[in-house]
Each structure stands twice: as structure tokens, then as C-alpha cells.
Structure 1
Amino acid sequence: MEYLNCVEKATGDNPDASVIWLHGLGASGHDFEPIIPHLGLPQDAAVRFVFPHAPEIPVTLNGGMVMPAWYDIRSLDRQGDVDEEGILASVGRTRDLIHREMERGVRSDRIVVAGFSQGGAIAYHTALTFEQPLAGLLALSSYFATARITTPSEANRKLSIFVAHGTNDPMLPEFLGRESVDHLKKLGYDPDYRTYPMEHEVCLEEIQAIGEWLRSALFR
């Protein structure tokens, strides 16, 4: 099996929980590595954070420039020409990482799938459709790109979900976060939705809220 290249950081020996965290367009697996100490996880927690690097592909909206991306962006119309094939390919690679964590001895219900922006779109589809129960789904400054074709697995019908968005986001306006939450509610979920006075980024208050949610999802 050829896996995505990843940055891996563990908060203790012999991790029994994992967070697979996907970055945004043009970024890398190193982007969210610095937030780990600010999550306030229990001192005796052994959590493996897996930050995969997206493959480098041409992005149509950026004039065909090659950059790290989970899928192509063909237009600014999020409801229009969505690269579903590219999204599903990245979902498959993320599922492979989940299975690898399970082979390492981490139970599926101790694995969180997280993503920022483009990475969040992959996280939505991956977590909701995974065939075994997961600990949670975390979607930051993102959108539910595959809502039209997503049928949740029975195993994850009660998945814990945290969604956050910046009210001043110029790249993915906050209404996309609200739309995503509305889609989730129609599917029977009860996501925790938070907004923050920020642009396309994360802030300390948000990171602290994520930490609180992670503690609930992994150490309840």
C-alpha cells in the first residue's frame, strides 16, 4: 500500500487515539502541526496526529498552476462544476490512512477525521461514509462539497461533528458553513456549529473550542 506522505506527531507513547487532519489548498501537512500544544489534551493522553500532504496537481482556477490540492477547483460556483472524481480519489487515500491507524492498533471509534477548507470537504465525505464507527468529524472554514451524493453509513449515523467558520471569510463565505450544517441536519445529525470574527484562518478561541470538543470525542 502506498500512503500519502504525512507529518506525524504523537502526544505520548503507544497512541490509542488518532486525529487525521487535512490541510487546505496550496498548504502542507505542517500547517496545523503547531496547534497541538494549544488543544489542552490530557497530560497522559497518547494521541497520534497525522497530517497528510496533498498531492500536487494543476488547479484550473489558478490558471493550471501545479500546487498541493485535494481536488481541482474549476470555478467559484460551489454548486456547479465540482470535481467529484478528484474528491473521491482523495477520500480513498484518507480512508487508507484510517485503515492504517486501525492496523497500528487504534480502534476506529478512537479516530477523528479533520480538515480545513479543501481538506474539510474531504473530511466530510470520508467520515460520514466510513463503514466503521469513528470518534468524530471536524470541518473548519469549509463546505460540504459532496452533499448531493453522500449517503452516510449506518455505522456513523450518530457521529460527533464540530463545524467552525469565520464570519469575515473572503474565500469561503460563512453561508457555506451554514449550508453545510443545514445539509447535516437534513441527514439526521446535530453538529456543533461555531463562528468566529476572522477571515480564512483559525484563531486561538477556535483552537481552544476544538480542544474541548476533542477531549469530549476521545476521552468521554
Structure 2
Amino acid sequence: EFGRTYVVKPKGKHQATIVWLHGLGDHGGSWSQILETLPLPNIKWICPTAPARPVSLFGGFPSTAWFDIMDLSEDAPDDLEGLDASAAHVVNLLSPEPRDSWCLLPSSFFFLKKKIL
């Protein structure tokens, strides 16, 4: 089950919505506090919290994670079930937002899970 979702409402005219996904072991609340201080008054930030799940990299110890991480090698298997569930959660969070407020970023903007932890 996904944790609490924190929302930072725009201080000005709502022109964009960004879903900000935290890193391994973190939660949406820590980022919402930081994002609230940015001088971006027309952006709505949605900061969900990943579910607590066993993380293979940690010997099965539970941690908030968008998907399981088996190991850090380049050829480690991906947790497609966890990735799909997290992607569906993000789509669900965006569904009530006006389409013209979505801020879609090119895939080249994102760094791969295996490059950073």
C-alpha cells in the first residue's frame, strides 16, 4: 500500500503539475518541505510516498521503495511488477489534474535506478 501523498499547492496561477518521486527509504513529506521553498509559484507539486516493501538489496529488510532492487549490477533483473504498480499510482495521482497542467519531461531527463541510490 502506498503511503501518504503530500501536495504543495501553487501560490500563483496553476500552470503546471509535477509528481516528485523520492528516493529509496525516503518519503514524500521530506521533499514537499523543500519544494515549498522554491521560487516557482505556478507549480503544483505532488509528492507521494512509496510503499514499504522488502528490498532484496537490503536482505529483505523493509524500506519505502517504488520497486524492489535485487542488486546494483547492470544486468540485475528489474522488478516489473513494482515498476508497473508505481507507474499506475502516478497516473492515478495525475488523473484529476487538467491535462494542460501536466509537466511531461523527456525520458533523457531521468536518471536510471542503477546509476544512483
When normalised by structure 1's length, the TM-score is 0.45
1:82 to 78, 87, 104: 78
Compared with structure 1, are the counterparts of its residues 32 and 9 closer, same or farther at alpha carbon in structure 2 (3 Å cutoff)? Answer: same
C-alpha distance in 1 between matches for 2:69 and 2:23: 12
Q: Specify the alignment match of 1:99 in structure 2.
A: 95
Cα distance in 1 for residues equivalent to 2:3 and 2:12: 23
Bigger Rg, which one:
1
- AA aligned opposite 1:27: D
1:72, 1:110 → 2: CA distance?
Answer: 31
Unaligned runs of 5+ in 1: 113-133, 146-170, 174-199, 201-220
Match runs of 1:111-126 below 5 Å? 111-112=102-103
1:81 Cα deviation (Å)?
1.2
Which has the larger strand fraction?
A: 1
**Residues 68, 50 of structure 1: CA spacing in aligned structure 2 closer, same or farther, 3 A cutoff?**
same
Aligned to 2:35: 35
* Residue in structure 1 matching 2:48, options 37, 49, 52: 52
What corresponds to 1:69 in structure 2? 65
**Secondary structure of the equivalent of 2:96?**
helix
- What aligned pairs does 1:200-215 form with structure 2 within 5 A after superposition? none
- Report which structure shows greater RCO (CA 8 Å, sep ≥6): 2
8 Å CA contact retained: 1:4, 1:93: no
Corresponding residue number in structure 2 for 1:172: 115
- AA aligned to 2:82 is G
SS at match of 2:25: coil
CA distance in 2, matches of 1:64, 1:29: 22
Q: Does 1:23 align with 2:19?
A: no
Please tell me the residue identity of whatever aligns with 1:100.
Answer: P
Kindly state the Cα deviation for residue 65 of structure 1 after the two structures are TM-superposed.
0.7
- Indicate the percent of aligned positions where both proteins have the same amino acid: 28
Kindly provide the CA deviation profile for residues 109-150 of structure 1, in whole angstroms up to 9, marking residues without a partner as x. Answer: 4212xxxxxxxxxxxxxxxxxxxxx4x3553xx30x6xxxxx
Q: In angstroms, what is the RMSD of aligned CA positions?
A: 2.6
What is the CA distance between 1:14 and its match in structure 2? 6.5
Q: Is the 8 A contact 1:3 1:97 kept in 2?
A: no
Count of aligned residue pairs for this structure pair: 114
2:35–2:45 CA contact under 8 A, matched in 1:
no
